[in-house]
Structure 1
Amino acid sequence: MSNAILFVEIFPIRIEKIPSLFAYKVSIGGGDLATIGGKLSYRLRRKFGQHWVWTSGHILTDAPQNQPEMDAFVEKLWENEPDTYRTLINIRPDEDWSIPPQAQADFVARGLFEDLRPQIQQVLNCFSIRLDKIQIERVYETRGWVVGNHPSVSISVSSRLVYREDLWRYISRTSSQNLEGLWVVDKTSTMKGEIVGVSGVVRDHRRRLLAITQREEMREIIESASDDEPVVRVLAGRNEYEYVASALRIIVRTEHFQRFGISSQGVLNVLRMEPKKRADLVKKIVEIGKKYGLIGDAYNAKRTIHYFLTSREIGFDPSLRFDRNEVRKYDEKRVLQNLRDLGLYRKSCNSRIVLGVVSALSIPHSAIEEFEKRLIQELKQLGFSVEIADREFIAIDTRAEIEQAVARLNARNPDLLLAFFPDELTTEEEDDTDAYQSFKSLTIGQGIPSQVVYESTIDNRHALANIVLGILGKTGSVPFILANKIDYADLIVGIDIARTRKERLVGSINATAIARIYFSDGQFLRYVIHDAPLEGETIPENVLQSLFPSSEFTGKRVVIHRDGYFRGDEKQALKKWANKIGAEFFLVEVIKTGSPRLYAIASQKIQQPEKGSMFKISDTEALLVSSLPPFTNATPQPLHIRTEAPFTIEKAAHSILCLTLLHYGSLRPPRLPVTIHYSDRIAYLALRGIKPKNLEGEIPYWL
């Protein structure tokens, strides 16, 4: 595909179509400025009409008001919504502020394009699909970007599953009280979020909700709601809102398929969109934007080649080093064969692996024994002998039974516990008492390596290969490393925080900070867990220092991958610590959701771009296709990556691509580098107290 032309679903804005803009500065005496500013822009739009957009710490509008009108508006907010706006001091024009390209882009994306929503949604409605209990809807998002100092807008299309019954009808029919964790969408707007609690029933809240609701369509829903209808709290972004249940539709996520009686077969295929179909839908929206003169043609490698890079231009060489320094190109179809032919880069000291087996399956024991034989044969070809220390066959009704089985097996000193669980556990609600969580809490907490095998994978050869890799990684072997060291770094570190939400207040308690440290050749050095609960969204300075001890990092060049955005003063704290210990820290933010997609055109066909394709937004920001999805009928979701000079975006991308090759839990490379891959799983386990006794270790227990 070397002759393919790349393009991205980002479009330059026609500057002449941006109206005269006026900026207002918001002064507050406390609280979060972005939260208050976002709410204000909505209220101002409802009050004065036209466009009001919160961006870059200001409210931008094309409909400025005189100051007495604005002051009266603020006073009314104090009177009607004192809890929300008690810290608001005033809203004043900021005539000295020069409106930057990002603010212009946000104004077009969230202001001018909003006028076109009815037309756009009408087009997309033609492509919705009805499947029994659910509706597959196509939805879109516009977002402002600055490409080469020019304001631009991305237009992205996605699919969502919406239950045919609204939330209240579903509750009435099923008598379900377990609402927390469900995702919902407002019937009257684009707001979507997660239910985080129930405030009560409508009879106790109707007057209050009517008093604070400005939208007429929502008032009508509240007025007609049943007295016994629940009032739920919905978290959307960082804001929490209250809704009567009949105002919400249910978004069905994959983890809730079983709850709603939905078969994943067929549904996931319809949800996915192959590149041409997705690009064609985006094109229909683009045509509407062009009709109103808002945007030009998409950025593409034919007209703006300097914005697009390939993996070769980034310097990425996907080669791995095996035993005796044998080097081979990465090929997921040949990884296991290469291990058989060439040997592991480094085997654990003990070539004998002792397994303890626990099964909660109701299938014949012979099926499990047959799987064991295949597993033993695969490990034998890699130079390991395997012994089954003992087997425990259990039901999964209680944690006590699992605990007793683990204790009996652990008494036999196994190197790893192999557990067989039924498939339904893969879609269970997030319940601390389910068998998987019980098993993991017992094994990880006691420092016992473990591997879970689900019933549907017992006869899956590809899954067997992944399990073999996982066992190797968890028992101290290094299957392979990078053929070429990363020459601009001594260490590569991934950091993340496991967060849990406060019960009633907007915000979070950050329970655990985790760092995973790798050498420049990709070998895993260790993990470090900071176990004290952390209040707020920022990792405190003293915690950052504990994750990067001077004994290990003094004088080192360190690439730091942050799962998501750096918060608060984290960057400054890291730079200060690096300076103090004579180290260089290169900070890279890796944002895994919400990024526009890249496409390739070859022989006049739109198709997936290659791994390593990159759209360079600026010298410090890019969209990177880090790995391709396992399905040809899907369009890869790029990572949005950001760094800071003097560290180049090319090096940031290179470090990410290299670290996607070293996942020992799967033959297929993940989207995220191993420095931050599985962060969600590690966080989920950590928040439930499932973490090793030793808060530093050399075995990647999360595989």
Structure 2
Amino acid sequence: MSPDLEQEEGIRLSFHLSRTLPQIVVIWDKPYFYALAIPNYPIRLLAEEWQDILEQVVEEGLTDFSDRTWQFQEVPLTRTAPANVISQLAYQILKTAKTYPFSPKTIPYKNGVQVRQEPRFWAEPIEINEVLQPGITLTIKSKFLSINNLAEFYLNHLDKQNPEKLLIGLNVRSRDIEGNGIITQLIRQPTLEHKQKLIGLAKSEISKQALQDVLSDELLVAVKFGKSKKLYEYGMTALRPCVTSETASRFGVEWGELLNQTKIPYQKRKELLVDYKKEANQALGAYGFELGLSINSVQNRELFWQPPVPIEDTPLLFGNGFIGIQSKILTGLSKGGVYRRHFKYSDASRPIRITVLNLCDLSLDVFQKELKQRLKSYKFESLFFSDSISLKNLSGTEARVKVEKAVNELIETPPDVVLAFLPQSDRNADEQEGGSLYHKIYDLLLTRQIASQMIYEHTLRNPKNYKYVLHQVVPGILAKLGNLPFVLAESLSIADYFIGLDISRESKAKLSGTVNACASIRLYGKQGEFIRYRLEDALIEGEEIPKRVLERLLPANELESKTVLIYRDGRFCGQEIANLLQWAEAIGCKLILIECKKSNIPRLYNAINKVITAPEKGLALRISSREAVLVTTQVIEKMGLALPLRLTVIVGNHRVLISPPIEQIIETTLKLTLLHYGSLKMPRLPKPVYGAHKMAKLRLRGIYPSSKLEGDCEFWL
């Protein structure tokens, strides 16, 4: 079809064509559409017939395409359709089926919330014996839904007098299709003409009826689905609210408790997978497809990889040449001290100045004494200053004012770090208009380049927990002050420097699209040692990091003649790769470019006597010579699965671009997950890209070291 289509346009058109045409599914794989019919169904349509079908689709749903003129041309398929096209067709069959092909299981929770265990699936071709084979991924995702529709939720809620606060940002699901979206706008008092237009566009009776009820005269909601920029307007009875971590308090449920309901016993998980695979096979069979055996290490041993030595046994280097391992970090710090002291503490007698801000009804004398002893055991002296503030009977605004005054007074003589103990109620305070004390304190301190550590009162109610709290927070405090607790004992041979590159972003609260907070890099050496960070000071719209920003973020004098491995948090966008290669050629360095993705990734399982269990940390599946799925966390519970990462090596013929074996990328990534200092628990992400989400939240609240965009202390830990 001409003119050429953008990615989003092609996907939208193919989806609506598949929903409109009986017995036919359509996908778009640049630059062509591919159509597949059930056996013996006439699919050979003339270009004029396709034109008529498209005009119908535009008239019924894609009105923003109405000012476009299209031409169709049939291109003979001279060979078997590519594996990725077959995979996408199978996915589209399941996604656009007129009747949803699966039977999800639901579990009641409380307050009208239910847990729904439903399948997730997508196209996933895989390379076997150097030949790309078609495939799909099938996994299980727990969703939290209200048993009521959105209108019932709204009308029965205590905050219905403030619909913006209650509804904006709420995740919802259409009742006639399985799509999830976010409410971004409200349409108050819609005109009759506007509603009639929407009714004419609505495809289902549910949507049409919702636009005709009494509530729709008062209020409609605009919903954004996925990454599409288009907004869809609904009457509220056509939607069901979903519960997320950001909106759980609106439903009167605690997110942590709700997450416990997602744990599926392994035998139950296997039964669900078997059932969903049968249902998928039945739907696909109508089009002549059949699902084969799942990829497994019996038939496909060459596709699976594990580190030759368990990753947790990788040697780590502490101070004074002491060698330890990840499971004995505290021993390493006690016997060797930190690997490298920040220049401020090069004199071991120079104490860390710690201000304790107690906003809880707690006695902290014992905890403070144990903290001082712990720091001393790691060879750091400390000097404490304390202040307790009562917030009883104060409104949120009054509490924030009192805390701001207290912080400003405390830092007249600037400490090195402020240790703030917060009331438990503050955990959900960001749902409120004024925000939390956590972010108020963080902002006041970070803008003055003062480190902070927040601890909630529930953590310290039992003195027996003190040592566990200290295990977690003390290495992080030392790292926030610029010290390096430990590094890899053996240098990574793949590159001289490691960089994490990302745009920290979050969804806009009341508009479509996203606000992109800032671009940033973090620079690390051959042993994984942190060197510095740099933030771009201007907000960036869109997904792509501009060329001028990339050049400012990548230091020419330091990277010249070096090999640099760059992790992109997510995918490289637009001209980022071309701009990076051009800059690398100009400054004379070599690049290894890796996309590190966190979503839409196949789950991996261990199998013992045909019973599935959680995978071990380090297990990887080779999707192709340039792509792999890697498990970077270990599940120790009797239920639950790790969320893997997807690593993609960028390949090309440019002379500055290096493409190491995917196995070397896997091993390097695993080792870089060992270097997190903010907790004894290893993170999912390698160190160069860890913390992007937290930086996004802070930056969007205006919280960042505004007067010092470059530094050598890891404030985001």
Q: TM-score, normalised by structure 1?
A: 0.89
- Relative distance call for 1:447 and 1:413 in structure 2 (3 A) is same
Of residues 154, 157, 165, the one that matches 2:137 is 154
User: Which deviations, in whole Å up to 9, do the C-alpha atoms of 1:255-294 show, x marking residues without a partner?
Assistant: 3333322145653222122444323311211233445462
Q: How does 1:228-243 map to 2 (within 5 A)?
A: 228-239=217-228, 240-243=231-234
Equivalence for 1:73: 53
Unaligned runs of at least 5 residues, structure 1: 1-24
- Relative distance call for 1:506 and 1:631 in structure 2 (3 A) is same
Of residues 317, 335, 343, the one that matches 2:337 is 343
CA contact (8 A) 2:27 2:92 kept: no
- Relative distance call for 1:321 and 1:180 in structure 2 (3 A) is same
- Relative distance call for 1:81 and 1:55 in structure 2 (3 A) is closer
Amino acid in the other structure paired with 1:146? P
Structure 1 Cα separation of the partners of residues 417 and 426 of structure 2: 21
Superposed displacement of residue 163, structure 1? 1.7
Q: CA RMSD in A?
A: 2.5
Q: How does 1:304-453 map to 2 (within 5 A)?
A: 304-312=300-308, 318-331=314-327, 334-348=328-342, 349-350=344-345, 351=348, 352-361=351-360, 363-364=361-362, 366=363, 368-395=364-391, 397-430=398-431, 433-453=435-455
CA contact (8 A) 2:19 2:97 kept: no
- Relative distance call for 1:202 and 1:313 in structure 2 (3 A) is farther
User: Quick check: 494-503 or 531-540, which moved more?
Assistant: 494-503
- Relative distance call for 1:316 and 1:555 in structure 2 (3 A) is farther
Q: Aligned pair 1:135/2:114, yes or no?
A: yes
Equivalence for 2:245: 254
- Relative distance call for 1:89 and 1:215 in structure 2 (3 A) is same
Structure 2 Cα separation of the partners of residues 317 and 554 of structure 1: 34
CA contact (8 A) 1:420 1:454 kept: yes
Structure 2 Cα separation of the partners of residues 476 and 502 of structure 1: 33
CA contact (8 A) 1:314 1:650 kept: no
Amino acid in the other structure paired with 1:424? S
Which secondary structure state, in structure 1, belongs to the residue aligned with residue 48 of structure 2?
helix
Structure 1 Cα separation of the partners of residues 428 and 273 of structure 2: 32
Equivalence for 2:654: none
- Relative distance call for 1:624 and 1:35 in structure 2 (3 A) is same
Equivalence for 1:269: 260
CA contact (8 A) 1:201 1:229 kept: yes
User: Quick check: 654-663 or 201-210, which moved more?
Assistant: 201-210
Equivalence for 1:36: 9
Equivalence for 1:12: none
CA contact (8 A) 2:176 2:204 kept: no
Superposed displacement of residue 455, structure 1? 1.2
- Relative distance call for 1:498 and 1:163 in structure 2 (3 A) is same
CA contact (8 A) 2:181 2:223 kept: yes
Superposed displacement of residue 592, structure 1? 0.7
Superposed displacement of residue 504, structure 1? 7.6
Superposed displacement of residue 541, structure 1? 1.0
Amino acid in the other structure paired with 2:365? E
Equivalence for 1:188: 176
CA contact (8 A) 1:199 1:230 kept: yes
User: Which deviations, in whole Å up to 9, do the C-alpha atoms of 1:515-548 show, x marking residues without a partner?
Assistant: 1111110110000111112232211111111111
Equivalence for 2:34: 60
Equivalence for 2:197: 208
CA contact (8 A) 1:608 1:635 kept: yes
CA contact (8 A) 1:193 1:234 kept: yes
Equivalence for 1:538: 544
Structure 1 Cα separation of the partners of residues 23 and 6 of structure 2: 23
Structure 2 Cα separation of the partners of residues 87 and 484 of structure 1: 61
Structure 2 Cα separation of the partners of residues 194 and 101 of structure 1: 33
Unaligned runs of at least 5 residues, structure 2: 37-42, 652-658
- Relative distance call for 1:109 and 1:316 in structure 2 (3 A) is farther
- Relative distance call for 1:147 and 1:287 in structure 2 (3 A) is same
Q: How does 1:82-97 map to 2 (within 5 A)?
A: 84-86=64-66, 88-95=68-75
Which secondary structure state, in structure 1, belongs to the residue aligned with residue 516 of structure 2?
strand
Amino acid in the other structure paired with 2:152? R
User: Quick check: 51-60 or 563-572, which moved more?
Assistant: 51-60
Amino acid in the other structure paired with 2:614? Q
CA contact (8 A) 1:511 1:531 kept: no
User: Quick check: 53-62 or 438-447, which moved more?
Assistant: 53-62
Equivalence for 2:152: 169
Amino acid in the other structure paired with 1:186? S
Q: How does 1:621-640 map to 2 (within 5 A)?
A: 621-629=627-635, 631-640=637-646
Which secondary structure state, in structure 1, belongs to the residue aligned with residue 384 of structure 2?
strand
Superposed displacement of residue 115, structure 1? 4.0
CA contact (8 A) 1:560 1:587 kept: yes
Structure 2 Cα separation of the partners of residues 576 and 315 of structure 1: 36
Equivalence for 1:20: none
Superposed displacement of residue 642, structure 1? 0.6
Structure 2 Cα separation of the partners of residues 644 and 326 of structure 1: 37
Higher RCO (Cα < 8 Å, 6 or more apart)? 1
Superposed displacement of residue 557, structure 1? 0.8
Which secondary structure state, in structure 2, belongs to the residue aligned with residue 89 of structure 1?
coil
Which secondary structure state, in structure 1, belongs to the residue aligned with residue 374 of structure 2?
helix
CA contact (8 A) 1:578 1:584 kept: yes
Structure 2 Cα separation of the partners of residues 633 and 315 of structure 1: 22
Of residues 553, 572, 576, the one that matches 1:570 is 576
Superposed displacement of residue 644, structure 1? 2.4
Which secondary structure state, in structure 2, belongs to the residue aligned with residue 419 of structure 1?
strand
User: Which deviations, in whole Å up to 9, do the C-alpha atoms of 1:172-218 show, x marking residues without a partner?
Assistant: 12214211221111111111022212122455542121122123332
Structure 2 Cα separation of the partners of residues 565 and 105 of structure 1: 21
User: Quick check: 419-428 or 101-110, which moved more?
Assistant: 419-428
Q: Report the number of matched residues.
A: 668
Superposed displacement of residue 45, structure 1? 2.7
User: Quick check: 192-201 or 48-57, which moved more?
Assistant: 48-57
CA contact (8 A) 2:266 2:611 kept: no
Equivalence for 1:517: 523
Structure 2 Cα separation of the partners of residues 320 and 606 of structure 1: 33
CA contact (8 A) 2:312 2:325 kept: no
Amino acid in the other structure paired with 1:120? F
Equivalence for 1:696: 710
Structure 1 Cα separation of the partners of residues 55 and 561 of structure 2: 56
Structure 2 Cα separation of the partners of residues 167 and 387 of structure 1: 55
Which secondary structure state, in structure 2, belongs to the residue aligned with residue 271 of structure 1?
coil
Of residues 664, 685, 692, the one that matches 1:651 is 664
Percent of pairs with identical residues: 29
Equivalence for 1:296: 292
Equivalence for 2:656: none
- Relative distance call for 1:502 and 1:356 in structure 2 (3 A) is closer
Structure 2 Cα separation of the partners of residues 137 and 231 of structure 1: 26
Superposed displacement of residue 151, structure 1? 0.6
